[in-house]
Amino acid sequence: MGVTQSLIFLLSFQLLHLIKGSTVWLNENGYEDLVVAINPQVPEDANIILNTMNMIKNASNSLFEMTKHRFFFKSVKIIIPKTWKKNTNYSRVKTESYDQADVIIADYYMKHVDDPYTLLYEGCKMKGRYIHFTPNFLLNENLTNVYGEKGRVFVHEWTHFRWGVFDEYSRDVPFYVSEKATIEATSCPAGVTGIPVFQDCRGDICKPRSCRYDGQLYEKGCVFIPDIHQNISCSIMYMQYARPVAVFCDQHTHNSEAPNMQNKICNHKSTWEVIMESDDFRNSTVLNTSAPPSETTFRLLQAQERVICLVLDISGSMRMHNRMENLRTAAEKYLLDVIETGSWVGIVTFDSDATERAHLQQITDDEIRQKLAQLLPTIPSGLTNICAGIHKGLKVIANKMNTTYGSEIVLLTDGEDPGIPACFNLVKQSGTKIHTIALGTEADKKLEELSELTGGLKLSAPDGVVPSKLTEVFSAITSGNGDISEQSIQLESKELVVQHSTWMNTTVPVDKTVGNDTFFSIAWNLSQPFFFLRDPKGKEYGSSDFTIDNSNPYTARLRISGTAEVGDWQLYIKNVHPATQGISVTATSRPACYDVAPVIAAAHMNRANTAFNPVVVYAEVSQGFWPVLGATVTATIEKDNGTAVTLELLDNGAGADMMKNDGVYSRYFTSLQGTGRYSLKVKSHGRNATTRLSLKQNQASYNSGYRENGKIYMTAPRPEFADEELQVQLGSFSRISTGSFVVNTGDPAPTYPPCKVTDLHARIENTTIVLSWTAPGGDFDNGKADHYIIKTSENLLDLRNNFDHATSVKCSNLIPKEAGREESFEIQPENKTENGTKIYFAIRAVDDNNLISEVSNIAQATWFLPPKAFAPLNHQGNTDGASTAVIVAVTALCVAVVCTIVNSTLYVFSKKKGRLEIEKMQRHV
């Protein structure tokens, strides 16, 4: 079917202003189309926009300098929320959206937290998910005292985000014992000068003192205060707030001993080495200019009301495997329960041609939802012409909106169409995001390219006797505008084949973060079962309370009025049909409060950047921007109606999981069944437990103070939180999230080695060295290995680079445990070890096919207690043996430890007037 003249003209005009989607790309050394998005809940403030622009402009200059005249920011798009006033300077968004932005600006859901951070969990050299800044960080100039100049902070986070590197400082291990038997700060490069200080806080008053020494390291809470003037340039991944900071650590300056995440995750490589191995570096050259060749340009875009058109295949193949019935049920659920109020929705069907079944209309009440649902297709026939459906969908949108920019199409098909490439250019020009749903095993292999071109979701659903799998997929297509308060959240999705007179009972927990617009749906494939629902207080809802539409007699639906009761809802279903039949249950709800973030879960699959490129399943469980810890997370992966594989995902910092307790649950998927589409379903739940929140990793470092001319200037201590502030009594909760993955190449059943051990630890107990780690599997983190190879050396880099030639540790009696279990091994040194010796250990696992894992992280043990660095202060502030005292000037940005950092006040303490003296330390720490 051809495109009308008006649509051709409209899209041709739009092509003149077309900007690529939100994926950043490198164009002649400059980064183009960086997308920054402001959360809809952020109050309108023009200074947020202005300060963001200034931050990125300054970052461009800093990045150019630090990358040795190689990279800069060329163009940036800033998405303004639709909740802000309209402005003629704002253009309409195209395929850009908040949920796919590179940088987001939003509040934490806890006060006093303004740490910039990057969500990064796929390993070294892998790009991050997004950079996060709070509005207060952008507006409050006083925060420059603790984080540094904003442009440098942006470069710090960009380096995380773009090149997959990690922090060179460590909040958990701020000091370590070096090979020279001295206590050093965890820094890059080594040799940064300063002093260890402890902030002693009593109520609202904080006073610094010397750190106590426990015979090995300084006490917990001791922080390193650097000298403001250094003889060496510090790395921006260590102290982005310090000056001079004009470099990244490279292979010559990198501190490979430091116990930081960069060394652990990137195998002791420097930041600059990782950057040099990136595609960006290979595709760029050094520019012979002293500054970026052009200033950063900005475009301001504003989000609009959601516009979406369902483009549904009704070709003859949809008669097979209950596809048409399942489509109608799943799409009806989407229209009635899922899509957000205020959205504009249209419906198009296609076979060999395309038909408009419903023009674009705004959902303002249940009557319009019902009207749209009645227009869903029921009878399949004809061939498959996907481009015809896309053309018609774009026309339906353009007829009402006079543009297709910022709109969405949900394209579902089960068939092949060799003509798909013919509409690729039209799709790229349209500014429309296309979400594709491949139904069954024969959907066209080029279908996902439509999503890749536009930034849409790539989804797939296997066939089934009941519609639950397709319903899960539709329910995943929610608004990407960042306003979670209106979005539908999947609480449960379950299907079973139930025998005659057998019960199917399901518990659906409703936690306190959800409860509005709560729907329960039951579907069957033969005849209506007997069922009833009981709420947490014992109230029962029978089948007569559910709605069964005459146009869809295989589904019953119940909406709970008001806000659903918190607690367990029990659904009891009995198959009264004479034969076995399939029965499914789904439950959805919306957030209970606008200002309380709901628990959400997001799942996806990706290839790992390691040998064999295994597939990894990820699930991020969070409340707002806070990771949720302690959940039970289970993934089910199914290929084209093949046998489903179930995995428990873990947040233990071992195997596929890069970082422990970051709320990202991971696992290798080693049961690939050849090429094709794999559908993913993840269930995350907690049962009557206190959910613990956690601070984000990969943050800009916090400036605790500095020393200048012998005086120590302290900032307010970094806000700390009591356990009760980090614990949330959610009761029981359950979330369902979906995704898909396409395998285009590879062996039908690849064989994998054990995964790399990433949490090897060494400690000394009396004269025994104790190694501990999490057991890998025989196939990455599944099963168990056959045996281990343990090596040792007194030189860290020799062990890393020449593992096979290092000294072997006898471990033939060590039998590997099942993957995920804790291993422990004791070593009795055969030779006398001199005091002060540092010994390094690494391990590899071998499976029963003699495949060998990568070399583990390197653990160290030190055979001495270093000499006492200094005597701690007594209560009067005197230091035994100290001949000189230094007056300490303390800059306090806030009196209370947990209050907002807003003002700078200079306090000078002297001994006579309660002043505090601390020992003058001129040595390296």
Q: Cα–Cα distance between 641 and 463 in angstroms, integer?
A: 7
Task: For residue 22, give the nearest of 88, 83, 98, 118 by alpha carbon.
Answer: 98
Q: Cα–Cα distance between 546 and 533 in angstroms, integer?
A: 10
Instruction: Return the structure tokens found at 584.
Output: 């499914």
User: CB atoms < 10 A from the CB of 421, how many?
Assistant: 11
Q: Cα–Cα distance between 493 and 476 in angstroms, integer?
A: 12
Q: What is the DSSP string of 685-699?
A: EE-S-PEEE---SSB
Q: CA quadruple 617, 621, 622, 623: dihedral positive or negative?
A: positive
Q: Which residues pair with 676 in a beta bridge?
A: 743
Angle, alpha carbons 115-116-119 (nearest 5°)? 115
DSSP state of 172: S
Q: What is the DSSP string of 380-436?
A: --S---HHHHHHHHHHHHHHHHS--TT-EEEEEE-S--TTGGGGHHHHHHHT-EEEE
Map residue 729 onto helix, strand or coil.
coil
Question: With contact defined as beta carbons under 8 Å apart, do 258 and 269 qualify?
Answer: no
User: CB atoms < 10 A from the CB of 718, how many?
Assistant: 18
Cα dihedral: 335, 339, 343, 348 (round 10): -40
Task: For residue 234, give the nearest of 219, 224, 249, 221 by alpha carbon.
Answer: 249
- Which secondary structure element, helix H or strand E, spans residue 823, and what is its range? strand 822-827
Q: Cα–Cα distance between 819 and 615 in angstroms, integer?
A: 17
Identity (one letter) of the amino acid at 379? Answer: I
Question: With contact defined as beta carbons under 8 Å apart, do 198 and 219 qualify?
Answer: yes
Angle, alpha carbons 187-190-194 (nearest 5°)? 70
Q: Cα–Cα distance between 598 and 512 in angstroms, integer?
A: 8
DSSP state of 547: B
Strand ordering across the sheet containing 223-226: 205-210, 194-202, 223-226
Question: With contact defined as beta carbons under 8 Å apart, do 47 and 84 qualify?
Answer: no
834: annotated active-site residue: no
Q: Cα–Cα distance between 550 and 548 in angstroms, integer?
A: 7
Question: With contact defined as beta carbons under 8 Å apart, do 692 and 726 qualify?
Answer: yes
Instruction: Return the structure tokens found at 471.
Output: 């319903």
Q: Cα–Cα distance between 461 and 467 in angstroms, integer?
A: 10
Q: CA quadruple 612, 762, 179, 166: dihedral positive or negative?
A: positive
Instruction: Return the structure tokens found at 371.
Output: 């009207």
Cα Rg of the chain, angstroms = 30
Q: What is the DSSP string of 541-574?
A: EEGGGSB--TT-TTEEEEEEEEEPPSEEEEEEEE
Pairing of strands 632-639, 676-686: antiparallel
- Which secondary structure element, helix H or strand E, spans residue 735, and what is its range? strand 733-743
Of 32, 96, 157, 340, catalytic: 157
29 φψ region: left (φ > 0), alpha (ψ -120 to 50), beta (else)? left
Respond yes or no on whether the N-terminal peptide bond of residue 750 is cis (omega within 30° of 0): no
Q: Which residues pair with 533 in a beta bridge?
A: 541, 571
Identity (one letter) of the amino acid at 9? Answer: F
Helices vs strands, H then E, count in the chain: 15, 51
Question: With contact defined as beta carbons under 8 Å apart, do 792 and 799 qualify?
Answer: yes
Catalytic residues, by residue number, are 157
